[in-house]
C-alpha cells in the first residue's frame, strides 16, 4: 500500500483540483479509475471534490516519475485521506445529502482585495491570520446578498485558492500556481501589477465601503462592472455625483455665466429640448475618481456638468475620459 503521507505539496493538490474543474467530475474520475466519494468530500469555495480521487491524482503531480495512485493502492476515510488533506490546509466534510449550488464568481472588488493580500504575503495556508481576516471581510461585503455568510462562502480555503490563482499570473512566482485564473483575475492583475499604490488605495476604499455597509450594492447599476474600480467604489463615486448639494453648487456656478445650462461636452441644452421641464437640469461628474484621492474636500473646479449620455460614456470603461477627450472624440466622429 502506497504511503500517501508522502504527499506533502499543497500545490500538487491544487493542480489536481484544477484538472477536476477543467475536465469535469465524470471525466476526472474515469481518468484515474476512482468512483465517487461515498462519505467525505473536499470543499473549496462552495465546490465539492471527491477526496480520495483528488489525493490519488495529486500524488502524480508531486511525483510525476511514480505517477498517480490507483484506488487499490491506498485506503480512504477519515484516518487517511481526510487527515492528510486537512493537514495540508483543505476543508473536508461529510458529503451532504443534497449537493449545494456553487458560490457566485468573484467580483472585481473581491479580486482587488485578494491581489492586495497576495502582493503582501504571496500564497498561503488557510490558517494564516490575514487569509482568515480577508475571508471575514469578503463575507461582510454588501455584494452577494444571502450567499454571503454561508459556511463555505469565501471561506479561508477559498481565499487561499484564489491566492494560488493569482500566483499563476505572477512572473516572479517560482512555483506553478494554479492555471485556472479567471478573466476577472487577469483583468485586475494586468491593470494593477505595475500600479500597486493605486491597488492599495482601491483596496482601502473597498474596505471603507464595506464598513459603510450600503445594502443596495448587491444590484448592478449602470455599467459599473466594466470599471476596474469595482462595484463598491464606483457606486460610492456615483452616489457622490448624485448628491443634490453637489449638483446645486455646480448648477449655480454654470448659471453665473448668464447662459442656460448645457452639457460641457456635447452642448445638449435640456431647456431648449424639453422646455420648462428641462430648466436648470444637468448631471454632475467628478473629474477625479474618488479612489484616486480618497475622501477629500471637493472644489467646484473638480466638477463638470454633463448630459446623461456623455456622463455614461465617460464612465463606461477605464481609464475614464476627461470631458475634453470625449469632446474631441465627438468632433472626430462628426468629421467622418
What the block records as the C-alpha cell of 253 is 456656478
Report pLDDT for 221. Answer: 47
Q: Are 290 and 205 in contact (CB under 8 A)?
A: yes
pLDDT greater at residue 144 or residue 154 = 154
Q: For 321-332, what is each residue's pLDDT tens digit?
A: 888 999 999 888
Least confident of 26-35, 251-260, 289-298, 311-320: 289-298
Report pLDDT for 150. Answer: 65
Most confident of the following: 108-112, 153-157, 301-305: 108-112
Among 134, 330, 318, residue whose Cα is nearest residue 228: 318
Cis peptide upstream of residue 319 (ω within 30 degrees of 0): yes
Q: For 42-83, what is each residue's pLDDT tens digit?
A: 998 878 899 999 999 999 999 999 999 988 888 888 889 999
Distances (CA, A) of 262 to 120, 248, 288: 47, 14, 21
Structure pTM?
Answer: 0.57
Say how many C-beta atoms besides its own lie within 10 A of residue 25's C-beta.
Answer: 15
Q: How many residues does the chain have?
A: 336
What the block records as the C-alpha cell of 188 is 485586475
Amino acid at each position: 500500500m502506497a504511503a500517501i503521507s508522502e504527499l506533502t505539496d499543497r500545490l500538487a493538490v491544487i493542480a489536481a483540483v484544477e484538472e477536476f474543474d477543467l475536465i469535469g467530475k465524470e471525466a476526472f474520475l474515469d481518468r484515474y479509475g476512482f468512483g465517487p466519494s461515498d462519505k467525505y468530500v473536499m470543499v473549496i469555495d462552495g465546490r465539492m471534490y471527491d477526496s480520495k480521487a483528488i489525493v490519488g491524482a495529486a500524488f502524480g503531480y508531486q511525483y510525476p516519475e511514480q505517477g498517480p495512485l490507483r484506488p487499490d493502492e491506498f485506503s480512504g476515510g477519515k484516518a487517511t485521506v481526510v487527515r492528510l488533506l486537512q493537514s495540508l490546509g483543505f476543508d473536508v466534510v461529510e458529503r451532504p445529502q443534497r449537493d449545494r449550488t456553487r458560490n457566485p464568481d468573484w467580483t472585481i472588488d473581491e479580486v482587488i482585495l485578494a491581489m492586495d493580500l497576495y502582493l503582501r504575503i504571496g500564497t498561503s495556508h488557510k490558517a494564516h491570520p490575514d487569509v482568515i481576516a480577508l475571508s471575514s471581510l469578503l463575507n461582510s461585503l454588501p455584494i452577494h446578498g444571502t450567499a454571503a455568510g454561508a459556511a463555505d462562502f469565501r471561506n479561508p480555503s477559498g481565499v487561499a485558492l484564489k491566492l494560488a490563482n493569482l500566483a499563476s499570473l505572477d512572473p516572479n512566482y517560482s512555483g506553478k500556481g494554479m492555471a485556472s485564473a479567471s478573466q476577472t483575475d487577469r483583468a485586475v492583475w494586468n491593470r494593477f501589477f505595475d500600479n500597486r499604490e493605486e491597488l492599495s488605495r482601491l483596496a482601502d476604499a473597498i474596505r471603507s465601503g464595506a464598513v459603510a455597509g450600503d445594502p443596495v450594492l448587491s444590484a448592478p447599476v449602470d455599467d459599473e462592472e466594466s470599471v476596474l474600480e469595482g462595484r463598491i467604489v464606483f457606486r460610492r463615486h456615483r452616489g457622490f455625483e448624485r448628491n443634490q448639494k453637489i449638483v446645486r453648487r455646480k448648477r449655480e456656478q454654470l448659471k453665473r455665466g448668464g447662459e442656460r445650462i448645457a452639457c460641457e461636452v456635447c452642448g445638449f441644452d435640456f431647456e431648449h429640448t424639453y422646455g420648462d421641464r428641462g430648466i436648470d437640469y444637468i448631471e454632475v461628474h467628478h473629474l477625479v475618481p474618488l479612489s484616486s484621492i480618497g475622501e477629500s474636500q471637493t472644489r467646484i473646479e473638480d466638477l463638470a456638468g454633463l448630459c446623461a449620455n456623455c456622463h455614461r460614456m465617460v464612465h463606461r470603461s477605464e481609464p475614464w475620459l476627461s470631458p475634453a477627450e470625449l469632446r474631441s472624440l465627438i468632433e472626430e466622429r462628426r468629421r467622418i
